[in-house]
């Protein structure tokens, strides 16, 4: 019998996984703190939760025994109203993560490459590596602005997609329209990932009519509190959308996600009314963090911010916070090793985090 390991594709023999947010139970077990006392600020989730209409709609829906519509008719119509674009330019996905994966499948093959201005969201490189593509990181400048010249220099014949998160995760800053236009003039697909759009109000959506190589991603995980139900979308040239609809798994959007999405859009005013308190909380957290010696928060346009810690102490501080039941995001990358990313949650969560950080930094 052949060793099954030899049957695995060569580039997946020892893959790098995605370091996702672990379950509340796992965090409680690691810290020895009961789940209800854990401060969970590591996933950029929405601490306010979904619209109350979501639970009502899920409870009264009676078609769970039926497959979802592979053509996503109702969903695409509802999303057309949200995006202001035609339904045939929209593809809904199991989180925007799935859209990232579908984009890679459609445009990027083995030996091709993608470009990502770093530091940035980890799913672009994760999905690219699965298809044996190369990932070309192009570092942002000291203020995390794009280095357009280096991006252009990094391109070659096999560059297929540039992934640009705006606001960027983890740095929280947005790209300017002029910069996005310059990228769109390049002969590659440009994905503008607007997962945090509702917190900043800046969008590349109006450029879609001018540039068929643009794809805009959005998600309901952040502003609408549906991270656990997985609702994302891509808006693109209708021809690209029709190809993506053809290659996606037929029932990629489960019926619960569909029901929750429609109910959320019906309660959009309530969900949008929760944006302001999060933005205000972000600014309050920023001021509190500024008052801790040797701690520097980085201004952000999203529902999280990056925080610079005293030099050489990043990992230790991250672990000490976790021991106190405070979970934030830590990155082992060289350029990020003295930083952490913290989500903006409820005022009580901010207070718990800031107090724990103040103590831990003093140690």
The answer to whether residue 352 forms part of the interface with ligand PLP (CB under 6 A) is no
Q: Report the C-alpha gap between 175 and 338 in whole angstroms.
A: 24
For the bound state, the minimum distance from the C-beta of residue 344 to ligand PLP, rounded and expressed in Å, comes to: 13
Count residues near ligand PLP (CB under 6 A): 13
Q: How far is the CB of 199 from ligand PLP (least distance, A)?
A: 12
- Give min distance, CB of 98 to ligand PLP, in A: 7
Distance in Å, CB of 20 to ligand PLP, minimum = 9
Here the contacts of 60-68 (C-beta below 8 Å, separation 24 or greater) are: 61/255, 61/256, 61/259, 63/255, 64/255, 64/256, 66/255, 67/250, 67/251, 68/251, 68/253, 68/254, 68/255, 68/258
Which of 31, 219, 252, 264 is in the footprint of ligand PLP by CB under 6 A? 219
| Of the residues 165, 215, 289, 309, which one makes contact with ligand PLP according to CB under 6 A | 165
Token reading at 50: 């979904």
Mutual orientation of helices 255-266 and 73-83 as an angle, nearest 10°? 30
Question: Which of the stretches 76-84, 93-101, 246-254, 340-348 binds ligand PLP when contact is defined by CB under 6 A?
Answer: 93-101
Residues 6+ apart with CB under 8 A from 246: none
Per CB under 6 A, contacts with ligand PLP among 117-146 are 121
- In the list 44, 46, 89, 350, the residue contacting ligand PLP (rule: CB under 6 A) is 44
Residue whose CB is less far from ligand PLP, 18 or 251: 18
The least distance separating ligand PLP from the CB of residue 177, rounded to whole angstroms, comes to: 18
Q: Is 195 in the site for ligand PLP (CB under 6 A)?
A: yes
**According to the binding rule CB under 6 A, does residue 227 interact with ligand PLP?**
yes
Q: Considering the complex, state which of residue 264 and residue 288 has its C-beta at the smaller distance from ligand PLP.
A: 264
Tokens of 353: 């985090």
Contact with ligand PLP (CB under 6 A) among 97, 101, 198, 258: 97
Taking CB under 6 A as the criterion, the residue among 221, 252, 300, 343 binding ligand PLP is: 221
- Residue among 262, 321, 357 at smallest CA distance from 63: 262
Query: Smallest distance from the beta carbon of 304 to ligand PLP, in angstroms?
Result: 8
Among residues 101, 193, 198, 349, the one that binds ligand PLP under rule CB under 6 A: 193
Among 46, 96, 203, 213, binds ligand PLP (CB under 6 A): 96
Measured from the CB atom, is 203 or 324 closer to ligand PLP?
203
Interatomic CA distance for residues 316 and 310, integer angstroms = 11
Q: Which is nearer to ligand PLP, 47 or 169 (CB)?
A: 169
CA 57/CA 145 separation, integer angstroms: 42
- CB-wise, 199 or 353, nearer to ligand PLP? 199
Residue nearest to ligand PLP (CB): 95
169 binds ligand PLP (CB under 6 A): yes
The site for ligand PLP (CB under 6 A) is made up of: 44, 95-97, 121, 165, 169, 193, 195, 219, 221, 227, 232
């Amino acid at each position: 019998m052949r060793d099954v390991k030899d049957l695995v594709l060569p580039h997946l023999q020892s893959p790098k996984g995605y370091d996702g947010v672990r379950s509340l139970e796992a965090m409680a077990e690691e810290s020895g703190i009961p789940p209800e006392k854990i401060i969970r600020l590591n996933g950029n989730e929405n601490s306010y939760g979904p619209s109350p209409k979501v639970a009502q709609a899920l409870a009264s829906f009676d078609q769970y025994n039926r497959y979802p519509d592979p053509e996503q008719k109702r969903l695409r119509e509802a999303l057309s109203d949200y995006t202001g674009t035609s339904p045939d330019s929209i593809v809904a996905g199991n989180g925007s993560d799935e859209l990232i994966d579908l984009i890679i499948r459609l445009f990027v093959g083995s030996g091709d490459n993608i470009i990502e201005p770093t530091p940035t969201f980890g799913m672009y490189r994760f999905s690219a590596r699965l298809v044996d593509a190369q990932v070309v990181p192009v570092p942002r400048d000291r203020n995390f602005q794009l280095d357009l010249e280096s991006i252009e220099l990094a391109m070659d014949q096999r560059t297929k997609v540039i992934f640009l998160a705006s606001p960027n995760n983890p740095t929280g800053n947005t790209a300017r329209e002029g910069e996005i236009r310059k990228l769109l003039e390049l002969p590659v697909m440009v994905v503008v990932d607007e997962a945090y759009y509702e917190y900043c109000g800046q969008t590349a959506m109006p450029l879609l009519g001018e540039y068929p190589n643009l794809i805009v991603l959005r998600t309901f995980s952040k502003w609408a509190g549906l991270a656990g139900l997985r609702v994302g979308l891509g808006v693109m040239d209708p021809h690209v959308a029709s190809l993506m609809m053809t290659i996606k798994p037929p029932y990629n959007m489960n019926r619960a996600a569909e029901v929750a999405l429609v109910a959320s859009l019906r309660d959009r005013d309530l969900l949008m009314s929760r944006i302001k308190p999060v933005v205000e909380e972000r600014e309050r957290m920023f001021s509190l963090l500024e008052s801790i010696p040797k701690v520097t928060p980085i201004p952000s346009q999203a529902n999280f911010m990056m925080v610079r810690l005293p030099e050489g102490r990043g990992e230790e501080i991250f672990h000490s916070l976790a021991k106190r039941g405070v979970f934030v995001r830590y990155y082992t990358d060289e350029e990020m090793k003295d930083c952490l990313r913290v989500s903006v949650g409820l005022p009580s969560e901010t207070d718990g985090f800031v107090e724990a950080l103040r103590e831990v930094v003093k140690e």
